[in-house]
Chains A and B, each alone.
Chain A
């Protein structure tokens, strides 16, 4: 039996650490602000930059900037980074059948799931607009956003649970297949369709995001435009196609690209549900395995760089639109 006493004795150092971080943070900046408020004139600009901006910049550079450059360099070295090997990690990665499969799977993830998420998102947002109990339905569909992908993976593991056909099924999806008269399958082992079953977890988790964002954009469409289209006789699907979709085009792109970056980096679902086995591996999971299971740092780094290359066009596009926006 675990008692409150035993829990407390093992946890209090951690609780103490939380409090220590809070006290040190507020203590440091409390003193800094008290001292800073007395300083007038030109010096205060530099002091404010040093205290406001520099700590954050140091953390970002140490945590993201410099390590990213290091990974780039490592990707041209061998497994234990003792020798330069040129582009070998990249060429070998393309030749290796397992990694090639991870590539193909990643590409199908990046194409299929964002399209489904966005389509479902805009359909739901349009249908729900001004519907009764809109907020309630939205909450239910949005709820998986709060659940970790580890939790979501376990929830879906239960949905996909498989028992021998002679036994009663314990997974709802398998049971539904039985009810509908389909041949019973162990869904997570059923290649290549198991990739789709894994995508379902991501789609389930992320559709709420698309729906909420697109819903806000739809509510922002000026009513005059809709009314004018209706006077011209547009309604139902035509109104959706000619007014709703074009008016929220930028938001559709935001949802699509966010989901694309998300799936490109997606790791939790694969790691938790199949561990990349049964032909479901993706780049992000493979990168983790190369680095931490096979201890091949060179190849792991090369895969990380490849993921980065996939993100670059999206980041470039975003920076371009941001610059345009700021110029206005």
Chain B
């Protein structure tokens, strides 16, 4: 096989392929770039000309960011954008911790503790993972407000969490668990049987096996799924709208941003930097931990 054979080992390998790829990569980046440029432009400029003309006679400014972050009583809220970022963190961190923590333990139980119905529970969880969360939103909201009554008996008490951060991170935990359990089960079930059995022979019980063997070995899998969950929850709008829609006090960035997009639609001097501010943290997480993130994606899709 000569040079020709080597080249054809890559279908589509040609200058055309490079051009197509380059073109798509540019197309995919330009919209975000436009937002970045716009957030640094002056209000008058944004209104009168397109952002791509900004490089002819550049007059960039940081005023937009000062306005959305540090100006009290401004258009983006009494305290600016930062409190919404804190809400996002206060929703995302507990939900990721609980769903991944409880998910790992449940995955271990389903994979390594033999008991009746273990398989049924596993398939049931897998099926629930396909249930659109739309199906659960309204009853769950009522459930938080009034508890669950059956024939006049309270079978689950009312939780006094309506309008609090817990009423947002708890649904995220609930909705996230089936997928997290499934993905971590794939990983935990594949741990070497000899290692587990050797520990059991040495007298270690499930608690010790989990803490000494499963937990340390699962760190990479847990990391990738935690990043996945983090981005998923940070970027969610629907759950936030339903469970935090009533009050700015617990609204995450996405919800506030969606409201701004509606009310300040054409005020790009506010909307653009606010949008950029909201995607900064997920972008940092994504670029610094991309390898883990991709691994998590692959674990869920191709085995």
- The docked-state distance in angstroms from the alpha carbon of A300 to that of B50 is 41
| B residues 1-25 touching A (CB-CB < 8 Å) | 1, 5, 8-14, 17-18, 20-22, 24-25
Q: Which residues of B contact A168 (CB under 8 A)?
A: 48-50, 53
Question: Which of A65, A220, A300 gathers most chain B CB within 10 Å?
Answer: A65
- The docked-state distance in angstroms from the alpha carbon of A255 to that of B171 is 27
| A residues 181-215 touching B (CB-CB < 8 Å) | 204, 207-209, 212-213
Q: Which residues of B contact A204 (CB under 8 A)?
A: 28, 31
Known contacts A53-B105, A213-B301, A308 near B174 by CB under 8 Å: no
| B residues 203-249 touching A (CB-CB < 8 Å) | 203, 205-208, 210-211, 231, 234-238, 241-242, 245
Chain A interface residue count, CB cutoff 8 Å, equals 135
| A residues 219-277 touching B (CB-CB < 8 Å) | 220, 223, 226-227, 230, 235-237, 239-240, 243-244, 250-251, 254-255, 258, 261, 264-265, 267-268, 271-272, 275
A146 partner, pick from B102, B113, B156, B231, beta carbons under 8 A = B231
Decide yes or no whether B86 CB sits under 8 A from chain A: yes
Known contacts A56-B105, A291-B137, A62 near B174 by CB under 8 Å: yes
- The docked-state distance in angstroms from the alpha carbon of A53 to that of B111 is 11
Query: In angstroms, how far is the closest chain B Cβ from the Cβ of A88?
Result: 19
Decide yes or no whether A311 CB sits under 8 A from chain B: yes
| B residues 67-124 touching A (CB-CB < 8 Å) | 69-72, 79-80, 82-83, 86-87, 89-90, 93-94, 97-98, 101-103, 105-106, 108-110, 113-115, 121, 123
Decide yes or no whether A118 CB sits under 8 A from chain B: no
A66/B139 in contact, CB under 8 A = yes
Q: Which residues of B contact A1 (CB under 8 A)?
A: 70-72
Q: Which residues of A contact B8 (CB under 8 A)?
A: 230, 235-236, 239
Number of interchain pairs (Cβ within 8 Å): 386
10 A-B pairs (CB sep. < 8 Å): A33-B210, A39-B205, A67-B139, A71-B138, A157-B261, A258-B301, A268-B237, A287-B134, A288-B241, A325-B303
- The chain A residues found within 8 Å of chain B, CB to CB, are 1-2, 6-7, 10-11, 14-15, 17-18, 21-22, 25, 29, 32-33, 36-37, 39-40, 44-45, 48-49, 51-53, 55-57, 59-60, 62-68, 70-72, 74, 120, 123-124, 126-131, 137, 139-151, 153-159, 161, 167-172, 175, 204, 207-209, 212-213, 216-217, 220, 223, 226-227, 230, 235-237, 239-240, 243-244, 250-251, 254-255, 258, 261, 264-265, 267-268, 271-272, 275, 284, 287-288, 291-292, 297, 300-301, 304-305, 307-308, 311-312, 314-315, 318-319, 322-323, 325
